[in-house]
Amino acid sequence: MQALILEQSEGKTLANVRQIQADALPQGEVTIDIAWSGLNYKDALAITGKGKIIRQFPMVPGIDFAGTVHHSEDPRFHAGQSVLLTGWGVGENHWGGLAEQARVKGDWLVPMPQGLDARKAMIIGTAGLTAMLCVMALEEGGITPESGEVLVTGASGGVGSTAVSLLNALGYKVAAVSGRESTHDYLRALGASEILPRSAFSADARPLEKQRWAGAIDTVGDKVLASVLAQMNYGGVVAACGLAGGVNLPTSVMPFILRNVRLQGVDSVNTPVERRIIAWERLTRTLPESFYQQATREISLTEAAENAAKLLNNAITGRTLVKIG
């Protein structure tokens, strides 16, 4: 079987597609024949070695994949069944989806939702699941389409673009933040009614700014998130799921105690299976068919490494799909 193998030599990460034996796969109850995987921000950090994602080498990256069960020792799954996987440390400390096969724990798998196939599941992928969990966080915080406009930062990326499409389909008015003018037509096609430059959110924010947003989904962190918090309406909710702009949060308590703003962290790696199933069913029902054409580009396994560098350089829009099987 073919796999993208990450190894370390003299402090540098080396990424090469190689033939390996299936018996080299790590332990697990279910072996999957992988049809599609994705190239995520975390995968790009791992492949390029620019983030301390991988601590054990050799490693097969790929934090999500979809395919069919090849062999199962878990009674919940049977040979030939369509399944998908996101998170759980796969592609970080357990061999992941950028290979023709994977062996994983049955607890990590989600049966393919009705109406979805492996390719569509990976167009959604980890990014889409995260976006849906963010939308659910806004809803659980009481934010409805009638509450007002919702802001999405990093809107041209995988999480951001899916969030824009989901919010628009659910009836929200969506403002998108993007650092690239070339993405504006794409974001409007997904459903953004307003597009703002990232530079408008990159300066040091005052503790409180003019109230603008009922809700927000932030994929960036740092000064961008601080600026968003300062602009939230009274009772607003921010779902924060990313740190592409940095891990710091240079803000104050004022938005929280003077405007009753809620900052809700969103993690998709260890989300319980029950909540994952709800999120995947909602994704399947909510995303318009046009999303699968607008938000996707395809590459082969051998192209993953070069595209990882492009992703980190902000040269890729939307979701990058990796064709495996």
pLDDT at 316: 77
pLDDT at 19: 95
pLDDT at 11: 84
CB atoms closer than 10 angstroms to residue 237:
26
The torsion region of residue 32 among left (phi > 0), alpha (psi -120 to 50) and beta comes to: beta
Residue for token digits 């990159």?
202
Give pTM, 2 decimals. Answer: 0.92
Amino acid letter, residue 51: G
According to DSSP, residue 206 is labeled: P
User: Rounded distance, CA 286 to CA 80, Å?
Assistant: 27
User: Rounded distance, CA 170 to CA 164, Å?
Assistant: 10
Backbone phi and psi for residue 82, each to the nearest 5 degrees, phi listed first: -85, 130
pLDDT at 188: 96
Architecture in CATH of 126-265: 3-Layer(aba) Sandwich (3.40)
User: Rounded distance, CA 52 to CA 57, Å?
Assistant: 12
Distances (CA, A) of 79 to 14, 30, 68, 74: 34, 9, 7, 11
Three-state SS letters, 152-163: ECCCCCHHHHHH
Contacts with 57 (C-beta within 8 Å, 6 or more apart), sequence order: 6, 7, 8
User: Rounded distance, CA 178 to CA 297, Å?
Assistant: 19
CB atoms closer than 10 angstroms to residue 267:
10
pLDDT at 295: 64
Residue among 323, 106, 236, 241 at smallest CA distance from 224: 241
**Angle, helix 41-48 to helix 304-312, in steps of 10 degrees:** 110
Burial category of 48 from C-beta neighbours within 10 Å (exposed 0-12, middle 13-18, buried 19 and up): middle
Say whether 126-265 and 2-112+295-323 share the same fold: no
pLDDT string in tens for the chain (325-residue length): 999 999 998 889 999 999 999 899 999 999 999 999 999 989 999 999 987 888 899 999 999 999 999 999 999 999 999 999 999 999 999 999 999 999 999 999 999 999 999 999 999 999 999 999 999 999 999 999 999 999 999 998 889 999 999 999 999 999 999 988 888 999 999 999 999 999 999 989 899 999 999 999 999 999 999 999 999 999 999 999 999 888 999 999 999 999 999 999 999 999 999 999 999 999 999 999 999 887 678 999 999 999 999 988 877 777 799 999 7
Architecture in CATH of 2-112+295-323: Alpha-Beta Complex (3.90)
DSSP string, 41-69: HHHHHHHHT-STT--SSSB---SEEEEEE
Q: Domain limits of the chain?
A: 2-112+295-323, 126-265
